[in-house]
Amino acid sequence: MPERPAAALRAERERMLESGIAADGAVPPFRDEIITSWRRCRMVGMTPTSEDVPYRPEFERPNRLLRAAGPVIDRLAEQMGGGPASILLADSEAQIIDRRAGARALGEALDRAMVAPGFHYAEEFTGTNGIGSALEARKPFVVSGSEHYRENLQEFTCIGSPLRHPISGVVEGVLDVTCRVGEAHELMKPLVLAAVREIESRMYADASRREQMLLERFLRAGRRSGTAVLSLNEDVVMANTAASALLDVSDQASLWEWACRMLGTGDECTGEVRLAGEVVVDARATRIGDRDGTAGVLVEMRPAARAAGDRAPAGGPRARRARRADPRGDVLPGRSVAAGRLRDDVDAVADDDRPLLLRGEPGTGKLFVATHLHRRRGRQEPLTVLDARTSPDDPATWFRRLTSGVDGGGTVVVRHLDQLVPELAGRVEALLEVPAGARVVATVRTRDGGSPAGRTLDHFPVSITVPPLRYRGEDIADLAPVLIGAHTARRPAPRLLPATLRTLSGLDWPGNVRELGSVLATAVTRSLGSDIAHEHLPAEYRDSSNRSGQASLQRAERDILLEALAETHGNKLAAAERLGIARSTLYRKMRILGIDENRLPAFRPR
Listed in sequence order, the residues at least 6 apart from 205 whose beta carbon sits closer than 8 Å to its beta carbon are: none
Which segment of 42-46, 177-181, 308-312, 553-557 scores lowest on mean pLDDT?
308-312
pLDDT of 470 above 80:
no
Q: Contact 91/121 with Cβ under 8 angstroms?
A: no
pLDDT of 461 above 70:
yes
Whole-number Cα distances in Å, 66 to 60, 61, 119, 187, 192: 11, 7, 17, 25, 16
pLDDT tens-digit series, residues 172-202:
899 999 999 888 777 888 989 999 999 999 9
Q: How many helices (H) and strands (E) does the chain have?
A: 22, 15
Average pLDDT over residues 52-72: 82
Which segment of 181-195, 288-302, 456-470, 515-529 scores lowest on mean pLDDT?
288-302
pLDDT of 368 above 80:
yes
pLDDT of amino acid 332 = 85
pLDDT of 478 above 70:
yes
- Among 486, 506, 475, 493, smallest CA distance to 333 is for 475
The confidence band for 115, taking pLDDT boundaries of 50, 70 and 90, is very high
Q: What DSSP string runs through 209-245?
A: HHHHHHHHHHHHHHTSTT-EEEEE-SS-EEE-HHHHH
pLDDT tens-digit series, residues 379-430:
677 888 999 888 888 889 989 898 888 888 888 999 998 888 888 888 888 8
Q: Is 484 helix (H, G, I), strand (E, B) or coil?
A: helix
The confidence band for 602, taking pLDDT boundaries of 50, 70 and 90, is very low
pLDDT of amino acid 132 = 93
Listed in sequence order, the residues at least 6 apart from 549 whose beta carbon sits closer than 8 Å to its beta carbon are: 59, 60, 61, 62, 555
The confidence band for 89, taking pLDDT boundaries of 50, 70 and 90, is very high
178 or 62: which leads in pLDDT: 178
Q: Contact 93/74 with Cβ under 8 angstroms?
A: no
Task: Output the average pLDDT for the chain.
Answer: 80
pLDDT of amino acid 549 = 34
pLDDT of amino acid 570 = 79
- Domains in the chain (CATH in brackets) are 63-203 (3.30.450.40), 224-308 (3.30.450.20), 337-469 (3.40.50.300), 472-548 (1.10.8.60), 552-602 (1.10.10)
pLDDT tens-digit series, residues 488-539:
877 788 888 877 887 888 787 888 999 999 999 999 888 887 888 888 888 8
Q: Contact 153/113 with Cβ under 8 angstroms?
A: yes
Listed in sequence order, the residues at least 6 apart from 343 whose beta carbon sits closer than 8 Å to its beta carbon are: 332, 334
The confidence band for 102, taking pLDDT boundaries of 50, 70 and 90, is confident
pLDDT of amino acid 157 = 93
Cβ atoms within 10 A of the Cβ of 556, count?
A: 21
- The pTM of this model reads 0.50
The percentage of residues in the chain with a pLDDT greater than 70, rounded to a whole number, is 81
pLDDT of amino acid 603 = 38
pLDDT of 130 above 90:
yes
pLDDT tens-digit series, residues 428-447:
888 888 777 788 999 988 76
